[in-house]
Structure 1
Amino acid sequence: MTSNHSNEALTEEKKGTFPKAIPYILGNEAAERFSFYGMRSILSTFLVAQFFNPSGNPVLQKVAEAKSNEMVHMFVALAYFMPMIGGLVADWFFGKYKVIFYVSVLYCFGHLTLALFENNLDMFSLGLLIIACGAGGIKSCVSANVGDQFDKSNEHLMTKAYSWFYFAINAGSVVSNIFIPVIYASIGAAWAFGVPGILMAIATVVFFLGRNKYVHVPPSGINRNNFVFITYYALTHLGARKEGESWLDVSKAEYDHEKVEGVKAVYRVLAVFAFIPIFWALWDQNLAEWVLQAKKLDLNTGLGYTFLPEQVQVLNPLFLVSFIPVFTYVVYPFFEKLGIKTTPLRRLGAGFLLTAVSFVIISLIQTSIDAGGQPSVWWQILAYLVLAWGEILVSITGLEYAYTNSPKSMKSTMTAIWYSAVSIGNLGVALVNGNIAKGGFLAQLDGASYFWFFTGLMFASTVVFMLVAGKLKETKYVG
């Protein structure tokens, strides 16, 4: 009797269908990612050509590119810092729907500012600031909003929904990286920045149209039992620590014991995450420094197609989507059969190494350019391929490691910290380029030496990681 009842319950549970809100969320995400990556695809080359070296003077090119790189990486640093702010504001005060909708409206004004003020650096910079706050402010809310739409009757469909969600992200990225550079080359910057703005407006309208179909999770108010508050209390009460206790244990006098243990788990993960900003410092150059390098390459593929400099970066999401199943179903099982367990830490180490190798290729390309050569775009395509392999091993594995090694109460915190690692990495590159632009100590990083510097940094970081990884303790929280 009990068995039949269980079977009926299971059958009832499996009857669920996709929530009606999902198509609106997917449409919103595809259009928003088109707007963000479309704008970003031409940003580096536009800043040099329009503001920092409009005359194309070779003497000014190094400083112009450094200024462009500094601005782009500061933009990305802010965009990936804002998810933490957006997530807290949504969870504590306004709820996800209001944050996504109102910040999206602000986001549209950012794009409009870029399109209207293509000749005014101050106003253009303001537009970038607004877009960074908009893109980052909604980032953590949108992905979490997908999960909010499911209940017990259809939770078995959540994995498929997230697969479609990430497909929408990559579809928006690929399409915009192909077409926005064409618009820029053929009819100018105003339209090239305007079209992403139109797509962002469409994204906002699509999201608004689904307003009555969303599951709205109300804000919870300020939660004192969080990572920041518990850490602050521990640091300001170290004198109360007893012998044999962790420095965080003093917080148990004021905060929930389970949450304090969760914060301890976060710090264990941070020992791994300490190496992640260096990875992102290199990775994000494929959408900035590599694009500027592409202008100096022979972009004729020999296959009847010649790339625009801003289009080569489209290969990153294409390679990524193509090789994720290859790694999942071929590469990892192959090494497992050889008796080499593909643990998260080993994958991260291999990913760091491959990222460094991609920069070896880029450095050699730049060495040839510095010597007066014009290397084939195929060499940069090879670098994009190796970088995509590194990204699969680092980005996907890093998120998995963060999820499995942090308790349920701290999983959102870990997502925010992951985005912060992207921000820190880009901030570091921005500071390097700012120093170069001002003729500081790092101005000696000219041409290939710039890329060799980051190559060496990644190799050194990989060696240190491999030495430390064996001593890192894993505590899994799954189920």
Structure 2
Amino acid sequence: MSTDKQISTESSMDLGVHKNDELHPEHSDDYLREGERWATEHDLSTMRRVGDRLPVAAFFVVLTEFCERFTYYGITGPFQNYIQNGYKVPGSRPGAINGGQHLATGLGNFFQFWCYLTPILGAIIADQWLGKFKTILVFSVIYIIGDLILTLTALPSSIRHGGALPGVVIAMITIGLGTGGIKSNVSPMVAEQYGRYRPFVRTLKNGKEVLVDRELTVQSIFNWFYWAINVGGLSAIATTELEAHVDFWPAYLLPTLMFVVCVIVFWLGRKKYVITKPTGSIVLKAYRVISHGLRNFRMAKKENRLVLNEDGTKVTWLEYAKPAYSVDGGSVDWDNKFVDELSTAIRSCKIFLCYPVFWLCYGQMSNNMVSQSGQMNTGSVPNDIMQNIDPLCIIILIPIFDWVIYPGFRRCGLELRPVTRITIGFLIAALAMAYAAIIQHIIYTKPPYYDAAGDGNNGFNDISAGIQVPGYILIAISEVFASVTGLEYAYKRAPESMKSIVMSLFLFTNAGGSILAFCFNSIAANPHLVENFAIVSGLMGAFTILFFVCFRHYDKREAQEAEDRMLKDSNEKNDKPIVSEEY
């Protein structure tokens, strides 16, 4: 990043965050604007908490994510029909490859798995060599290559000569690699643009004072980040209409062109971003720390030299990796702080263990529920347009949650902490799958094709696809509670040096959902779809209970940690400069 004056700020905890302090004071928390003062201990316990305004740089990153998701959902929206149905078959749904529902669902699950496996590679590259900004740019080029492959192999001549299937497979691999490098870095990067850490009090225009809380600001950032994702997801409306009324190649050309816009937008914001330096190979270093800790722990246990904390509890096995607790006399290239950060990251990642089942539910929306709508009367619109009800609902719901529901709970003293929100989201996802099972049962009872509707050249049964709408609404609500909160939690609980890798591990749970989906592939077609949705619903319900039982204490611990952190920050005695409201 080119600036006139770059310094490493104290507020970024010497982690390589750079800023132009003359142009962008919002990149540091070491300032107050007019009408603001630092919070006191009394303020922390009595004042209403609110989120802060978002910096301009965050909007550039959000707009970039909108363009990338426009491309992603624009190309994936037609995938199920593109692979499942034949090309230009009279009286049939649009298609190209004629591979059937099994192949379409299987390739869709593979693509989703690949897209959420590659973020780990993107995180390693960003942390070790390039940093987030350059990594996003490099993987964007790979993404564009994949888009071009998909568009060119979707031309009529390519489809008729058998180029569509190898083309879509190569494009999936290439696009999946590109999106992985972007996803692991863009979400932590958007939150990094807000650099104010200390709690402060702001006087509103009506004279009332409110406590500006970083935790709520980060929560709001991820709400609006997810909102942008789903606005971009509406691109599938345009691409499925193009698929149905024109052809597949223009349906894929539109998102390809949008991604070029994505890269331009991201580049234009380069002078406004907070840019974090690469910190080295966190994965390899973490592996060495874990190995060292386990080895020292076993030696201490064998020699009966286990260490106790001040309260009498045993020191955890990982703490034996600290230089102070080393029992083998070897030197290490890390300090106690890194071990503590790694311990925090491992503890935080435990909460992700139940997410693969949630993503299994979510994945039904883009494959089996698309095929389900193909078995019903959709009128003059393509069957795969129904999945866009989900992003439409999220676009409406996120502002309501951010401005009304969450603040309303806080005013009543009933703040919804992360584990509570995630549990609610999991439960609603289970209900969505139960509803899909009921709908599928109703489809099978209707003429003229009963449990063979949509197979081969068969048409649809006598039932309106509008009955699917409540299922998509339930999925949207579950996303607001579970998916948005997961992104927020992965960022907030990850140590500064590990945000990309922890975010990539959260995204990897989506790949886990795709692996589970492969296990259901044998019943992901007629006449077994009722069992498919019912089993997924039951599995999600069981894991909802398991999740709450295992992690319900996390909310109380997080609330206490947040209170202690704010109290510590408010008690700092440093004099801070005041800057003007405009920046």
TM range (shorter): 0.7 to 0.9
Asked if the contact 1:97/1:216 (under 8 Å) is kept, the reply is yes
Q: Decide which of 33, 46, 52 is 1:11's aligned counterpart.
A: 33
Question: Which residue pairs with 1:424 in the alignment?
Answer: 512
Deviation at 1:137, TM superposition (A): 0.8
Partner of 1:451: 533
Which amino acid is the alignment partner of residue 110 of structure 1? G
Question: Where in structure 1 are there 5+ consecutive unaligned residues?
Answer: 1-7, 301-305, 438-442
Q: Is the 8 A contact 2:83 2:98 kept in 1?
A: no
Shift, 1:79, TM fit: 1.0
CA distance 1:241–1:428, shift in 2 (3 Å)? farther
Q: 1:164 to 1:362 in 2, by over 3 A?
A: closer
Q: Which residue of 1 aligns with 2:141?
A: 105
Equivalent-residue separation in structure 2 for 1:397 and 1:20 (angstroms): 23
Task: Evaluate the alpha carbon distance shift between residue 473 and residue 249 of structure 1 in structure 2; reply closer, same or farther with a 3 A threshold.
Answer: farther
| Most deviating of 364-373 and 397-406 | 397-406
Query: Residue 134 of structure 1 is aligned with which of 178, 198, 205?
Result: 178
Alignment correspondent of 2:503: 415
Aligned residues: 454
Query: After superposition, what is the alpha-carbon deviation per residue over 1:283-305, rounded to whole angstroms, capped at 9, x for unaligned?
Result: 122122211211112224xxxxx
Q: Of the candidates 462, 465, 472, which is equivalent to residue 384 of structure 1?
A: 472
Change beyond 3 A, Cα 1:222–1:272 = closer
**TM-score, length basis structure 2:** 0.68
Moved more, 368-377 or 282-291: 368-377
Partner of 2:441: 367
2:335 to 224, 241, 256: 256
CA separation of 1:20 and 1:279: change in aligned 2, threshold 3 A: closer
Higher mean Cα deviation, 20-29 or 126-135? 20-29
The verdict on how the C-alpha distance between 1:405 and 1:108 changes in structure 2, with shifts beyond 3 A counting, is closer
109-118 vs 144-153, greater mean Cα deviation: 144-153
CA contact (8 A) 1:104 1:204 kept: yes
CA 271–241 in structure 1, closer or farther in 2 if over 3 Å, else same: farther
Secondary structure class of the residue paired with 1:248? helix
The one-character-per-residue Cα deviations of 1:435-477 (angstroms, maximum 9, x if unpaired) are: 558xxxxx99822111111111112222333433446686435
TM superposition shift of 1:86? 0.9
- Structure 2 counterpart SS, 1:95: helix
Which range moves more in the overlay, 116-125 or 131-140? 116-125
Q: Which structure has the larger Rg? A: 2
CA distance in 2, matches of 1:451, 1:400: 29
Q: Shift of residue 356 of structure 1?
A: 0.8
What RMSD in Å do the two structures reach over aligned CA positions? Answer: 3.8
Relative to 1, partners in 2 of residues 1:318 and 1:13: Cα closer, same or farther, differing over 3 Å?
Answer: same
Q: What CA deviation, in whole Å up to 9, does each residue of 1:227-275 have, x standing for no partner? A: 4443344445552244333222232234432332333333333443211
TM-score (normalizing by structure 1): 0.81
Q: Which moved more, 1:124-133 or 1:218-227?
A: 218-227
Letter in structure 1 aligned against 2:544 = T
Corresponding residue for residue 181 of structure 1: 240
State the shift of 1:64 in Å: 2.3
Amino acid at match of 1:169: I
Q: Residue 69 of structure 2: which of 24, 30, 33 is its match?
A: 33
Supply the distance in 1 between the matched residues of 2:58 and 2:493 (Cα, whole angstroms): 29
**Structure number having the greater helix percentage:** 1
- Mean Cα deviation higher: 260-269 or 414-423: 260-269
Return 5+ residue gaps in structure 2 as ranges: 1-29, 37-52, 200-211, 307-313, 327-331, 451-460, 566-583
- Distance in 2 (CA, whole Å) between partners of 1:360 and 1:389 is 15
Deviation at 1:334, TM superposition (A): 6.7
Aligned CA distance change for structure 1 residues 28 and 335 (closer, same or farther; 3 Å): closer
Return the match for 1:199 from 258, 264, 279: 258
Which shows bigger deviation, 316-325 or 231-240? 231-240
Q: Give the counterpart letter for 1:90 in structure 2.
A: A
Structure-2 separation of matches of 1:112 and 1:224: 33
Deviation string 1:52-86 (CA, Å, 9 cap, x unpaired) is x99979xxx99821221121122111112222221
The answer as to whether partners of 1:70 and 1:431 remain within 8 angstroms in 2 is: no
Task: Tell me the equivalent position of 2:13.
Answer: none
Q: Tell me if 1:283 matches 2:327.
A: no
1:94 matched to 2:130? The reply is yes
